[in-house]
Amino acid sequence: MSFVSHLEGAIDGVRLPADTLQTTHEDRPILVRYDLAAARSAVTKDALADRPHDMWRLRELLPVRPDAEIVSLGETATPLIPCPRLGEALGVPNLLIKDESRLPTGSFKARGMAMAVTMAKALGVRRVAVPTAGNAGGALAAYAARAGLECFVFMPEDTPAVNRAEAALFGARAFLVNGLITDCGAVVRQGAERFGWFDMSTLKEPYRIEGKKTMGLELAEQLGWRLPDAIFYPTGGGTGLIGMWKAFKELAGIGWLDGATGETPVPPSMARGETPIPSVKMFSCQSTGCAPIARAFEAGERFAEPWENAATVASGLRVPRAVGDFLILDAVRESGGAALAAEEARLGEWMRLATATEGVSLCPEAAACVGALRSAADAGRVGRDETVVIFNTGAVQKYTEAIGAPLPRLDRERVDWSAIEKTIGTGQPAPMQ
């Protein structure tokens, strides 16, 4: 058995049965709940030493039953890279980047889709579909291929070229829709009734979030079972941020976030039946081109109004309306963080600052985190001595439209050495004002 106790409607806490196919409840997300006391007595931190370093590592806090086939492409633990020079430029020298670009299909979407496809297959699904603004389509196509499921992908016409190509390349039936991701979502919804495919949209089934939760489990372990002071996370649909906050609560719930090794005593909160609040500020980062969550945060609202005319090169952030808006905003507020919008026009500059200063393959979505961190540091929301983690959710190589740079040409017969000489000593990125 797994340690799943039940599923829960996130909007009203209603209990729903696990082990049957679930979608949403009251058009809002469904969350997986665990018997944390049982999970706690089934595993120790030391027992993890013998397990592979991948997303399936802490299986006591995952929904997969031990007899289920895991659909995997090798979801390796991703590195946590110290970035002191970029950190210094932003005013927080203790900066780390968790580099999710290493995962299958080049983005953290792999974690969510590996888990959702594993669960869907175990529950008898044969055909899956997803709307996507970027990386979700390729990730689902790859895992569906791996699982032998039929896959349908619907994306806006202006989806980045690599994302358009990869969905088809991995065997999905892929279609372009003249609209936004919300319009693609409507096609998937209607098709679910017509063709009986299972809707894998963000937060329209309970398990993608459990896959993304593993980012939080992994980060805590990499930091010696402590949390950083602040996390900057690029937010579109919000599964990553909601998933991590859930991971931290579950780890705190089993008493694992004290930095100690070995046996952990029963946490006092568990004895009292309370959920402890993990101590890490969660920052939800968007672009001024599409910032419904940041706007709702500013306005003090729990639900976010849809964003009109959403436009950003950070395709993963182009989500005008998130079904899990209240879960994102609750997590941000409960943690003492904030939802911030970084200037769309400066995403390219921040992306290049990070890639050229530290060599990390930083995607435009994560560039919004760099901008948001800069303004949070300026506003005193994070202190100079604090440890900050930015999540790099995807590989910059997938964004050919956003990274195109015209290169000077050389004639092989008569090399213009002065043109080369002029560039010597100019390789450092411009300091930020």
Q: Which position among 104, 131, 134, 292 is part of the footprint of ligand PLP (CB under 6 A)?
A: 134
> Cβ closer to ligand PLP: 203 or 230?
203
Residue 135 contacts ligand PLP per CB under 6 A = yes
Residue 121 contacts ligand PLP per CB under 6 A = no
User: How many C-beta neighbours within 10 Å does residue 203 have?
Assistant: 23
Residue 361 contacts ligand PLP per CB under 6 A = no
> Cβ closer to ligand PLP: 228 or 234?
234
Q: Which position among 87, 245, 394, 396 is part of the footprint of ligand PLP (CB under 6 A)?
A: 394
Q: Provide, rounded to whole angstroms, the least separation between the CB of residue 333 and ligand PLP.
A: 17
Q: Take residue 97 and report the two structure tokens written for it.
A: 């980047």
Residues in Cβ contact with 86 at an 8 Å cutoff, skipping those fewer than 6 apart? 95, 97, 353, 354, 357, 358, 370
Q: Provide, rounded to whole angstroms, the least separation between the CB of residue 276 and ligand PLP.
A: 24
**Beta-strand pair 95-99/80-82:** antiparallel
Residue 93 contacts ligand PLP per CB under 6 A = no
Q: What is the 3-state secondary structure (H, E, C) of 271-319?
A: HCCCCCCCCCEEEEEEECCECHHHHHHHHCCCCCCCCCCCCCCCHHHCC
Cα gap 132→146, rounded to integer Å: 19
> Cβ closer to ligand PLP: 236 or 255?
236
Q: Which position among 93, 104, 185, 238 is part of the footprint of ligand PLP (CB under 6 A)?
A: 238
Q: Provide, rounded to whole angstroms, the least separation between the CB of residue 294 and ligand PLP.
A: 13
Residue 210 contacts ligand PLP per CB under 6 A = no
Q: Is the dihedral of CA 216, 221, 222, 227 positive or negative?
A: positive
Q: Which position among 291, 304, 363, 389 is part of the footprint of ligand PLP (CB under 6 A)?
A: 363
Q: Exposed e or buried b for every residue in 35-73, given b needs 16+ CB within 10 A?
A: bbbebbeebebeeeeeeeeebbbbbbbbbbeeeeebbbb
**Beta-strand pair 95-99/173-177:** unpaired
Residue 344 contacts ligand PLP per CB under 6 A = no
Q: Which position among 63, 185, 237, 371 is part of the footprint of ligand PLP (CB under 6 A)?
A: 237
Residue 22 contacts ligand PLP per CB under 6 A = no
Alpha-carbon distance values, 36 to 33, 46, 213, 254, 335 (Å): 9, 18, 15, 6, 21
Cα gap 316→364, rounded to integer Å: 9
**One-character DSSP codes across 403-416:** H--PPPP--SSS--
Q: Provide, rounded to whole angstroms, the least separation between the CB of residue 339 and ligand PLP.
A: 12
Q: Pick the piece of the chain touching ligand PLP (CB under 6 A) from 39-47, 131-139, 188-196, 352-360.
A: 131-139
> Cβ closer to ligand PLP: 107 or 118?
107
Determine the distance from the C-alpha atom of residue 188 to the mean position of all C-alpha atoms in its chain, rounded to a whole number. 22
Cα gap 188→152, rounded to integer Å: 9
Q: Provide, rounded to whole angstroms, the least separation between the CB of residue 135 and ligand PLP.
A: 4
The torsion of the CA quartet 389, 391, 396, 402, rounded to 10 degrees, works out to: -90
Residue 214 contacts ligand PLP per CB under 6 A = no
> Cβ closer to ligand PLP: 104 or 236?
236
Residue 104 contacts ligand PLP per CB under 6 A = no
Q: Provide, rounded to whole angstroms, the least separation between the CB of residue 196 and ligand PLP.
A: 26
Q: Pick the piece of the chain touching ligand PLP (CB under 6 A) from 129-137, 260-268, 295-303, 351-359.
A: 129-137
Tokens 């997303």, residue located: 55
Residue 393 contacts ligand PLP per CB under 6 A = yes
Q: What are the residues binding ligand PLP (CB under 6 A)?
A: 107, 109, 134-136, 202, 234-240, 316, 363, 365, 393-394
